[in-house]
Every structure is written in C-alpha cells, then in structure tokens.
A and B are shown apart, each in its own frame.
Chain A
Amino acid sequence: MRPYLAVIRDSFREALATRVLWIVLILISLFLALVAPLGYEKTVAIAIHWEDLRDPTALVQHLIDHRDKPDTPAGYLWSKLPEDFQKELTNLKEEDGGRGSRMRAAGRLRNEINRQLHSREFYNEDVFKSVRLGAEAAEIRQSGLDSLDDERHARFTRLVFDVAFRDFIEGAGQDAVQFVYLWYPIGDEVPLTEDQLHQIAETVIAFVVSRLVGNLGVFIALLVTASIVPQMLDAGAIDLLLSKPVSRPFLFLSKFFGGCVFILLNTVFLIAGLWLVIGWRFGLWSSGLLWTIPVFVFVFAIYYSVSTLAAVIWRNAVVSIVVSILFWAVCFIVGVAKSALDEWFLNARRTAVIVPAEDSLIVTNRQGSGFEWRTDENTWVEVFGERRRGPGGGGYPMVGPYFDSPNSRLVAVRSGGGNRWMRSTPKLVVAPRDGDWKPVESIAVPSGVRMLAIGRDGEILVAGTGGLHRFDGDPEAGDGGLEVFGMKVPGFGQAAKFVRIDDDTLEWKSPFAASHDAAKGELAVRSGQKLALLTRNVKGQYEVKTSLEWPRTDQSLIGRAGSRVVLASEDGSIAILDAKTLQAVGEYSPFGRNQPRDIQSSPDGRWLAVLFHHRRLWLYDTQADQPGSREPAGQRDISAVAFGPDNSLFVSTGFGKVIQYDSPESMTEKARFAQQPDFLENLYLWGIDPVYTIFPKPGEMEDVVKWLLTKQETAATDDEADLTADRVVLDIWEPIWSNLAFLAVMLTVTCVYVTRKDF
C-alpha cells in the first residue's frame, strides 16, 4: 500500500501547492464570515403577514363599509388610518377600482395595521368589548395591560385583532422568530417555531450547498484537476512512475482518488464551517450536513472519471474539460427530458382520488380531470372536465371529489387556477350523475377550507380555519347569479350560501385538519395546538365534546374510523387516539419522516388507510389495534386509495391503474381497472425509463443532499403548508446505485486501457 498512499499523499501536497485552492479557501472564508452574523431571536408572533390575510380585498371592503361606525372594530380601525389613506380607500369605493388597486390598498392596510399593533393606545376596551377573547388574550388582560412590556402589549393587541377580524385574518400562532444580522433585526418577526425554522433552514442549506459545492465547486475542481492525469502521462513522468514496482491500475486509481482531494479539502472547509456557523447561530447541529461531504466528493468523482478517461486517451487537459462538459450536458438533457415527461405529462395522469360511486368507479387525476370506468370498453372515459396542465398536475390542491349518494352526484371544492401565491377563490363544484358527471360550479367556499364532507341526507359540510359551514341551497343551480346577455350581474340571486354551524368555542386556526363521521355526526378537528371532537346538538350546531392540547406546530392530517382517531403528522409519525378521550393509544412511524397525503377509513370503521407522498400505503386495523399484516401490490407506486361501500379496498398504481381488493385483511384481488397504455406511456415504459435507468445521474444527487438534510423522500412543489398538495418524490437510491455503477465502469475501462497501453 505504501506506494499508493504516497501517490495520494502527493496529491495533497499538489493541491496545497495550487494557488487556486487558496483562492477558493479564501472565498469560502469570506462567505462564512458573511453568513456567521446571521441569526435569530425567539419572540412571539405579532405582525400580520400577507399569508395571514384570508381575503385581503374583502378586508378592505369591510373597512370601507364600516367607516361611519367608529364604535365597531372596523370603524375604529378606519379612524386610526391616515387621512390620505382613508381618501384613497374612499376613492376605491367610488371608482369601484379593479382587483389590482384593491390588492395594493390591502398591502398598505396591512402595514398600517402592523403599525397600530405596536401602539399602546390602539386597544380600546369600549370598542372591543363585544370581542370574545381567547384564553391567552384573557390571561394577558387579567395580568393588567399597563404593566405589560411593549412586546406583550403588542401581542395582546394582535390577539384582539385576530378575534375581531377573524373572517379576514388568520389567527396568529404562538411562536415567532426575529432574524438578526449582528445585532440588527431584519424585517418583521416571522411566525415560525424553532422546529419550523430548522426545517426551512435545512431546505435553504440544501439549496445553497447544492449550488455552491454541487455545481460551482465541482466545476472549479474539474478545471483545476483536469491537468493532473495528462501531466502524469507526460513522457519522462510516466516512465519514471511505471519503472517503479507498482501496479498500473492501482497507480491510476491512486492518482484518481488523489485528484478528488481538491474538492474534498474545499468541501470539508465549506461544509464544516457552515455546520459550525449554523449550529452556533441557529442551534441546528445537522449531522446530515456533514454527510453531504462524501456525497459532493462522489458527484465530483463521477465527472472526474469521465475527465480522466478522456485524459488517458488524449493526454490533453483541455480535451478532458470539454469531454466532461459534454458529459454534463448529456446528463442534464436526459435528466430534464425524463423529469419534464414525468412532471408535465405522466405524473399528471396518476390517480389522485378514487371515488367508488355505487355501480360506477370514478377517478380524478393530478390535473383534476375526472374519468369514469367503462367496463364494456375496458377504458376510462373523461367525465369531470378538463383542467389546465402544469407540473405535477395543476388541478390540485382540490378537496374531494366525494360521492353524494343521496343526490347521486360528485361534490368537490376546487380553485380555478393560479399559482401557490395567487390562487383564485376556491368554489364548490358538483357533478350530477344524470348530467353525465358534467361539473357545475356553485358559490365560493369560505376561506381556509381544508375539509369537505357529505353528511346524512346529502348535507354538504366544509371546515377550515374559517370555521365549520353547511351549504344551504341548490349547488346544481350554479352560483345563482343573474345573467344578462351572458354577463353576471353582481348582487343578484345569491340564494345559495354557506352557514356557519359551529358554536364558536373553538379557535379555528392553522395548522388545521378535520375529518367528519357522517354516521355519528361527529367532527374530529386538529386546530392549532388543539385536538377536539365536536358533536352535533339538537339545534344542528356542532359543539366541542372533548378537547386536548396538542403541543405541536407541524401540519397533520386527521382521520376517523370506529373507536379510533388517527393523526398523521408532517414528520411521518402516526398517532392513534381513542375517539372518546382523544388520548393516544399507539404511535407509529412506518416510513421515517415521509409526509402523509391522505387518510381514508372503511365504512365499517375497522380500517384506516394512510397514504404517503412517496406512494406507500399504511393500513391500520382498529379492531385489533395494530397495523395491517398485508400490503397491496405496487407499494412505492400507490397514488390513491379509497374504500368502497362494501369495505373493499381500492388502490391506484401507475398511470391510472386501479385494483380492487375484497378487504385489507385478505388482500385478495377482486377486480382490476386498467386500460391499455397509450403511445406516451409505452414510450416512457419501454424507451425513456430504461435509458434513464442505465444512464448516470450525477445531477440527481441533489435529491440525496435534500434527503440527508431533511430526511424526507419528497419535496414540496406547491403549498408546503398543505399536506395534500403535490410533492415530488425524491429518488434517493436509484441515482446512488446508478452513479456507482457508472463510476465503476468508467474506472474499469480506464484501468484496462492504462494496463494495455504502451507509454
């Protein structure tokens, strides 16, 4: 081993003698010095952020409507606004300005409100006397407002505001962080817990190190190391080396691994420095960050193996660099082609929701299009309306559809498009069977709706951070508006409406999840840091029957089956709770930190099915109080799950294939609904996917970095706060094995070439 260790040691000497190394190390030091002063301080949530405004333009309108009522919270707030802004808002009213100008006004209004939150004079007991304060606000007031420090006082004002304007403003969480640079605060405080901050920090770090080291660092290292092998092969140098009692392949391999030293030194310096800075400033001692060091060296080794093969053939550094860049370009093109086909065409075809609708089977795909299975034609026929196309299927997030058996129609809540920042108002949509499942758009649902349920007698219920509402009216009558010559006349025919049916004792806030049990008329809710079970009273109102503190701030999904409530959290943990007491009876983490995307329960209340974003299904038997012992076929490829009225299990895999099992207990296949793959699917299955599989994937190692830092096998593409929203599945092991195989092949070929070559 001594000769080969000498070669590797010499590579260290050579790297240290390189001026470029020192320049890069100095740049990294500067970067770390720049990042080190960035930190945060824990504080409480006070400021109203744009995301907290449920409907910004409605809030503006609300103030305008109450400007003459100074004894109401809205009128009082109006009186506190600067005169010029009042005029601006008044003109909006008179001009009935467009949405853009109202949004701009809402932006300024948010700033004005935030200013008022920090004013000790703003709170006026007479004005806000009708506001029923929550527990925290009541406690603060009891301790005496005058004795509060400014921060506590501002917090109190915010809590008052949240209740007074609950229809327009999302309730503030408890914790927040204030970012600081040296001692100076940066912007407003951000409503994040430390855990959430760490999660965001991990995502940001994954992005930054992937760019800095994975792209820029590897490229610089390739430039610097490209000459190592050609120099070794120079006449006079190679003769001297080969005259020594060393093996040619091992000599080459030692030189190759020695070449990796350059990126190793830089990566260790940057990553270890970043690890220390982030650990020190953010309290995030991420071992995953340190594990990215070998990953980046591995990525470099893949490109370097190509560079060295070119070097031993042509003995020219420039040719090595050009060949490496060509290799990168080919990998990039293949990766992008596969990813584009996956995201834009094929993943959008995956089933999102299965709806067993009596003797029909309906599915909707990720684009929001609905299809009915036609047994005689052995195919899916589109029935629910074409949605726009986009990455991951732009149709979701959509709630439902569910089958409204009494009225024989599909019911869903879906938005009309837009992006994660500016999505149009979600509306209730129904698709009657006798109308060939053609969707009919009804009125807009209250803001923050996350749950849709069909109650007894076809009652439509929606729940969200705006409370629990019942739909009153005929959804099949459209939005009820009057049309004149095809134009909607606002204000006319708003017969249909949503009526709030909770007793207002629960603070409906994010993170929010709910599940309705139609048979028992019960609603299980996770709202903020509280779990609650609501039952219907004789007046038809839902009231809190049981509640429990849930001291967590991450997102979750909730489900209900028989005597159990299941709460599946963002960190991949599943809590099984007693449905009466809400006490935990079991906790599972079947798939590490992977996020759940859907929970379904069997009508008989025996089975719970939790589907995860990385397309694996977990079943729980509430009777035996243990996880199911059998798994359906196609784990890692399951995109949707549902239970039929007969408690059979429907599972969708691939691009629209649905398999019906008689029950999760026996897992015996009962029926299969799959049409012949079309040209695009065949092209993918028999062409692109095999080519992609055998092709090296250095670019995909970025997914491994994300996984190391976040421990999650999926990454959000849309709304991170919505667990049901699409996420990209990060394939961790395929790129590792594929790249390892490629590296082994390249090194073997190079070793054989070097062994056979006369120098």
Chain B
Amino acid sequence: MTSPVVSVSDLRKTYRSGLIRRRKIEALQGVSFDVQPGEIFGLLGPNGAGKTTLIKILLGIVKRTEGSASVLGLPAGDRRGRMRIGYLPENHRIPRHLTGFTALDYYGQLSHVPGREIRRKRDELLETVGLGKWGSTPVKSYSKGMLQRLGLAQAMLHDPDVLILDEPTDGVDPIGRADIRKTLFQLKEQGRTVFLNSHLLQEIELVADRVAVLNHGRVRHVGPIHDLTQGSSTRLIFELVADEAATLAVLSDLGPQVASRNAETTTVTVAPCSQSEIDRTVDGIRQAGISIVSMSRNRQTLEQAFLELIGSENLDSENLDSESPDSEMKSESLTPGPADTNADDKN
C-alpha cells in the first residue's frame, strides 16, 4: 500500500486574540484524513470552516496546536517538503514591478530552480496557462484571470509532486477554467497529487476524485464524490398513470412526496432506497394496475449534497452554539483571521 501524500490526524488549531480579554477560537478541532498519491483531492467547506488554516498548516505558514500533519512523508512545513509543493494562494499578490517572466524568475529561484532552467521552461509554461504572449508585460497590466494563470504557472515551475491550489479558477473566464481543468488532468496523468480548495463546487465535482468537507473545524465527510451525491440523498421519481390517492397508497412504505399532478398522471418522489426495494416497489405498482410512464433516479449535484450536509450541520450547531462558549464560529464575520490573532502553537 502506498503511503499517503498528505496525512492529517486529529489536527487542531486554536487562535487566541486580544491582549486583555483573551479569546480562544478553535479553527480546527481534530481534523483527520489522508490524500493518496496521484489523486485530485477537493477540500470543501463554508467560509470559516478552517480550510485555509488547514492549507497553511500543511505549508508551515501557520503552526498547529495539536495533532499531526505530514506532506510527502515529512512533517508539515518542513523545508524539504516545501521543495516539492507548488502553491497557489487565494487572492495572491505578485509584486507589481514584475513582468510575467521576471515573476517566474523570482518565484522559481525562491524554489531553488536555477535561472537557466527557468528560462528554458518559462515560455512553455506560460503557453500552458494561456499567457504565451504576455511574458514581457508588467503584471500591473494583468487582469485578475491572468494573474491567476500566472500564479498557477509559478506553482508548477519547479515540477512539484503536490500542488495545493486555493481557488485556482477565481476570476477566470469559462474558457480559462476549462484550460485549468485540462491542466489539472494533465498533472494527474503525470502522477502528481492536486489538493484543491474551491468554492466552485461544480469545478470540484468535475475534477476531484475525493473530497473532504469541513465545517466548524471538523471533517463532515471524506470520500469519493459519488458517495456524497449518491448517498442517503438519492431519490427515485415515478410518473404514474393514477390519481394521487392510489399512488400514495401503493408507495406508502417509501414515504412518497407528490411533486406534481395533472389530469392523467401523478409524479411522486420517494426516499432513498436499495435496489431490492426498487424492484419490490415496481412489482407493487404493476400489481396495482398502475402504468408507469417514467421512472428515474434523481442524482444530487455536489452542491445540493453539500448544502444538505452543511445546512443541517449549521442548523444543529446553531442550536448547540447558543449554549457553546465558542459561538464566534457561527458566523462568517467572526471567522478567525491569522493576521490579528496569536496562535497557541505546537511546533
């Protein structure tokens, strides 16, 4: 069995703020998951869930309070590990006095790439991200999408084994997004691991093999996307030639819900069910002499699954939070920011 590229176990991070009245904010509360080599792993969660804190811990930008985290078999933040990581931060800022070329030169050398090697690779790399003609242009003239592409290029410049991309498609047009997706698949084909954090769940759904859902600093789900989209939330939709009463009577065991009705047919949604239940239900309908106009499985989108999962969590936590001392975590406005907090660290 191959060892995981990223391994996080019972990871905790507590920020402390305020000089006199010290406030504790638990950004991560025992997060555990693994990322396997060569997979595209998506990290999901609402604002304030602890995603950025988790990424920064993996990169050593923020120090963990408890638990363990490793990247490529090395402790998170280890300089040898960072040699093999490419990172694209959210809302990154590339100094305005640089051009596309000098930015790659600068960040490449920060990653210990020799100047000659950078000059050899930079044209191709800019071409890959769609900035082939913009290498000599100062970045102050770049659009947000172009800056994202340049950020992606610098993250790939030193051929990292792991790419950690925070909102890589933010501000990028649909064609650019498609290009980035294509690039991600190419990286996957090359055996590289991509750790993706994005608010655009459709993007994640299109590229990720597995996802982890974080909420309030805890992992709510880890696994393949279809586990999330085809799990308990999967519905069956029957369009039957029968009136409403007859339809409900036949499907009473499955908790039917009438979705629509017209003069001849009634459309009903039933709760998730196994294949044997479906077979039995179809037999029952036919035995009752009801014609089946259509029958379809309603597969949820990732967004629906996410909202369903997080929505119920947040409802539960709101109830809990009303009695909890760290109720700051409820709302985005009280989300901890590392800039103005002091960490209770464990190095």
Contacts and interface: CB of A to CB of B under 8 A. Distances in A.
Interface of A: 2-3, 5-7, 10, 13-14, 17, 231, 234-247, 315, 756, 758-759
A237 B109 contact: no
Given A240-B94, A245-B112, 11 more contacts: A6-B106, A6-B109, A239-B59, A239-B87, A240-B154, A242-B59, A242-B60, A244-B82, A246-B79, A758-B341, A759-B338
Interface residues of B, number: 40
Contacts of A7: 110
Given A3-B110, A6-B106, A239-B87, A13 B98 contact: yes
Interface string B89-110: 1111111011000100111011
B339 interface: yes
B79 A245 contact: yes
A245 B82 contact: yes
10 contacts: A2-B109, A3-B112, A6-B110, A237-B92, A239-B56, A239-B59, A240-B92, A242-B61, A246-B79, A758-B56
Nearest to A2: B109
Nearest to B151: A240
Contacts of A6: 105-106, 109-110
A337 to B, nearest CB: 33
B345 A247 contact: no
Contacts of B36: none
Interface string B48-70: 00000000100111110000000
Nearest to B138: A17
Given A13-B102, A231-B95, A242-B60, A315 B112 contact: no
A237 B111 contact: no
Contacts of B87: 239-240, 243
B285 interface: no
B297 interface: no
A121 B95 CA distance: 77
Contacts of A247: 79
B100 to A, nearest CB: 14
B345 A758 contact: yes
Given A14-B97, A245-B112, A758-B341, A239 B89 contact: yes
Contacts of B92: 236-237, 239-240
B250 interface: no
Contacts of B339: 235, 315, 759
Contacts of B95: 10, 14, 231, 237
A239 B60 CA distance: 10
Interface string B307-347: 00000000000000000000000000000001101110100
Contacts of A315: 339
Interface of B: 15, 56, 59-63, 79-80, 82-83, 85, 87, 89-95, 97-98, 102, 105-107, 109-112, 114, 151, 154, 164, 338-339, 341-343, 345
B47 to A, nearest CB: 15
B60 A758 contact: no
Contacts of A17: 97
Contacts of A244: 82, 107, 110-111
A758 B61 contact: yes
Contacts of B60: 242
A6 B118 CA distance: 13
Nearest to B60: A242
Given A231-B95, A240-B89, A759 B61 contact: yes
Contact of B91 (A10, A236, A243, A759): A236
Q: Which of A234, A239, A241 has the most CB of B within 10 A?
A: A239
Contacts of B85: 243
A243 B89 contact: yes
A234 B93 CA distance: 8
Given A13-B102, A315-B339, A758-B343, A241 B110 contact: yes
Contact of A246 (B56, B97, B110): B110
A247 to B, nearest CB: 7
Nearest to A3: B110
Contacts of A237: 92-95
A17, A240, A242 pick with most chain B CB within 10 angstroms: A240
B79 A10 contact: no
Contacts of B341: 758
A251 to B, nearest CB: 9
Contacts of B106: 6, 10
Nearest to B102: A13
A559 B109 CA distance: 68
B61 A13 contact: no
B62 A759 contact: yes
Contacts of B345: 756, 758
Contact of B62 (A231, A234, A235, A758): A758
B335 to A, nearest CB: 13
A242 B61 CA distance: 6
Most buried by A among B79, B80, B95, B110: B110
Most chain B CB within a 10 A radius of its CB, from A5, A10, A243 = A243
Nearest to A5: B109
Contacts of B151: 240
Nearest to A16: B97
Contacts of A246: 79, 110
Contacts of A245: 79-80, 82-83, 110-112
B83 A239 contact: no
B345 to A, nearest CB: 7
Contact of A758 (B63, B82, B90): B63
Nearest to B86: A243
Nearest to A17: B97
